[in-house]
Chains A and B, each alone.
Chain A
Amino acid sequence: MSPFFALIGGVDPWIFAFSFVTVAATVWMGFRSAKTAKTASDFFVAGRSVSVGWNASAISGEYLSAASFMGVAGMVMSSGYDALWYPVCYACGYLFLLLFIAGPLRRFGAYTIPDFAEGRFDSPLFRKIAVCFVLFIGFFYTMPQMKGAGVTLAYIFPGMPYWAGVVLVGAVITFNVALGGMKGITLVQAFQYWMKMFAISVPVFVLMAVFGFYNNHVGANVAAGETSAPSTEVTRKALVEKAPKDNAWIAPFGPLTTKAVNAAAAALPAEKRAAYLAEHQRPYSLLYTYSLIIALVCGTAGLPHILVRFYTNPDGAAAKRTTMWVMILIGVFYVFPPIFGSIGRNLMPELYSGVGAKGTDKVVLELPTLLGAKSGVLGSILSGITCAGAFAAFMSTFSGLLVSMTGALAHDVYGRMLRPQASAAERMLAFKAAAVLVGGVAIGLGCFVEPLEINFMVGQAFAIAAASYFPLLFMSVWWRGMTMKGAAIGMLTGGLCALGAAALTNLGTLALDKGPMGKIFAGFAPLNGFWAQHPLLRILCEQPAIWTVPLAIGLMIIVSKATSAQVPADIRMKMLVLHAPEKLGLKQEYIQEHQAGAGH
């Protein structure tokens, strides 16, 4: 019994109660809607009948992941100004989606990106290639969600190891998805958006009322060239040794974007360092910033679990209105996490010394407990609320990803490739089996990533999406000369380069870990030595979008030109369906023609 008591010892009852209610409500809603979801089509896109308000809340609920809820605050705390690019580009990426992709894709009418890939190029082979990326991007995106789960559970149960939290939460969500499917998810996601919004905004307002407003917390940092801080209303705790200095934290081109150059400078003899830094630091971090912006803005348009929701709108105009609402809903949300980060820097600097699950990624969870000293139980209640929000965050995103990835496996791999003649009951069974398989792999991967920052890992998933799906969608929608070979070669090369670069970066970082992960990945330690010699390569590996996105688009153009004889014969009709207003009814005509002509 003693390990059990060790586990529940030190558990705050309020924090536990709020988290438990969130999980129970999510699971209950999943089960309840499982009764109404009967056919496979219900599971995949919720019968295509969701109103704008519900759908916008659901998309936002799914989009605001553990990275947005915990990771952004943690990264703003650890890196300062540069980390603000993440929330800004997470929100602005939607604009790109709206401007270039949402409308046409919706008019074309297909369940998933692989459906679009097949329909646009009449190629079942290309569908198989496209399906791979649903899984690649999906698994990269589930890792940070799993870290969020591990961190939160390790916070609620101080005795619980990180991996146990990952396994527990992963198992609950996998079970929920296997039983509920997407019909349940739409409702649950919409509910969870409002849950997260409440959980991030209310504690922020209370904290600001007690400890000083946002501007005073940012203003407590002394920028370069200033002799004293502009705001003195905040009483700061002394910064620990590992914390970045004020002037680096508050200004652009700070610790996040200059890490590679600083590591390279540290490897040089002391007398050469200053000259080296003066020459390379700022240009390289400008490059880093642009590469990050490209990854996040283009990547949003290529996230598999976000695009599928545009098909649940009744028409193209509704899809556009939905996007407008999504941008407002997530934009308002993203103002809050950096506030946590800047307050945390002043009032909870001890988190800078923590590693893994005990580091800055948990600032959102722990910061409200500071109120405990002033107003007793209120601190625990608010901390319970942010924990509940964190649960909502990683549970909703993980379920959304699980549905997309399971859909790819069950709908594409099983239903189309392995057994096209499968009955409806067999398809449902396949959906459940695939959910368990994908959930299991995600849990396994999640156990390894404790030393990596949540927000950084999400950025990597975006970088892979930016180099694979974004060029595919953008070019196929707007350029009629695209051929299947061009699209496939561009998407594969760009996407795999980004995937490889992201994996190398993570292996290098894991090798630096002082805990057990450092031992497992010790073989990759020489990589860091190499990068210290070549900081530019390190930046291009850590943020690959600046070369992989142009590479993918360039290859698409070159290969398509070389194989221009293979442009689909009915390309004009396809382009019309993509671009002509839905009221003209071209889609119906296209389907009839297609069935009469090609026979598949």
Chain B
Amino acid sequence: MSPSSPSPDDVIHSESFLQALMRRQLGLSVACAATFLIALIGMPLLNYFAPAQMATRVAGFTLSWLILGVLFFPFVWIISFIFIKRSIALEDAEVELVQRSREKI
């Protein structure tokens, strides 16, 4: 594919390495995004199909107002915290993998 690659036998230039790398990263991102999207898409649906339950009063707020106006923010922080921890760990693992295979050669 790219004849000018300096060391074609190096593991990082192999097709399988790139595919595995992207799949792992995308897997992590999609898992986090799915958690978030379920909540984001679910809220209007709950408002639509269960208006009475969502209008339950919690200390003056409606349940729906409390979730959207206050609780949604910490929920997003938790998702992003988990994502950042895992994605930094993922990168470290990849660097280690490459270095180990380079030592073998």
Contact = CB atoms under 8 A, between A and B. Distances in A.
Interface in B1-45: 1-2, 4-6, 12-13, 15, 18, 21-22, 25-26, 29, 32-33, 36, 40-41, 44
B47 to A, nearest CB: 4
Q: How large is the interface on A (under 10, 10 to 19, 20 to 34, 35 or more residues)?
A: 35 or more
B5 to A, nearest CB: 8
Given A478-B22, A580-B12, A584-B98, A323 B69 contact: no
A223 B80 contact: no
Interface in A563-581: 569-570, 572-573, 575-576, 579-581
Given A95-B36, A586-B12, A331 B76 contact: yes
Q: Interface residues of B: mostly helix, strand, loop or mixed?
A: helix
B70 interface: yes
A583 B60 contact: no
Contacts of A96: 33
B95 A584 contact: yes
Nearest to A328: B77
Given A81-B64, A252-B44, A320-B84, A579 B55 contact: no
Contacts of B105: none
Interface stretch (A83-91, A126-134, A367-375, A550-558): A83-91
Interface in A230-283: 230-231, 250-253, 282
Task: Report which residue of A87, A218, A332, A593 has the largest number of chain B beta carbons within 10 angstroms of its beta carbon.
Answer: A218
Given A95-B36, A579-B18, A252 B60 contact: no
B55 A224 contact: yes
B2 A572 contact: yes
B53 interface: no
Contacts of A589: 6
Nearest to A223: B55
A88 B81 contact: no
Contacts of A218: 60-62, 65
A586 B95 CA distance: 12
Contact of A252 (B29, B57, B64, B81): B64
Given A218-B61, A252-B51, A579-B21, A320 B73 contact: no
Interface residues of B, number: 53
Contacts of A3: none
B80 A216 contact: no
Interface in B65-104: 65, 68-70, 72-74, 76-77, 79-81, 83-84, 87-88, 91-92, 94-95, 98
Interface of B: 1-2, 4-6, 12-13, 15, 18, 21-22, 25-26, 29, 32-33, 36, 40-41, 44, 47-48, 51-52, 54-55, 57, 59-62, 64-65, 68-70, 72-74, 76-77, 79-81, 83-84, 87-88, 91-92, 94-95, 98
Given A225-B55, A335-B73, 13 more contacts: A91-B72, A95-B32, A99-B29, A218-B60, A282-B48, A290-B44, A320-B88, A331-B77, A572-B13, A573-B13, A575-B18, A575-B22, A580-B12
Interface of A: 81, 84-85, 87-88, 91-92, 94-96, 98-100, 103, 214-219, 223-225, 230-231, 250-253, 282, 286, 289-290, 293, 297, 316-317, 320-321, 323-324, 327-328, 331-332, 334-335, 338, 478, 569-570, 572-573, 575-576, 579-581, 583-584, 586, 589, 593, 596-597
20 contacts: A81-B65, A81-B68, A91-B73, A98-B80, A214-B61, A215-B59, A215-B61, A218-B60, A218-B65, A250-B65, A251-B62, A252-B64, A323-B84, A327-B77, A331-B73, A335-B73, A569-B2, A572-B15, A580-B21, A583-B91
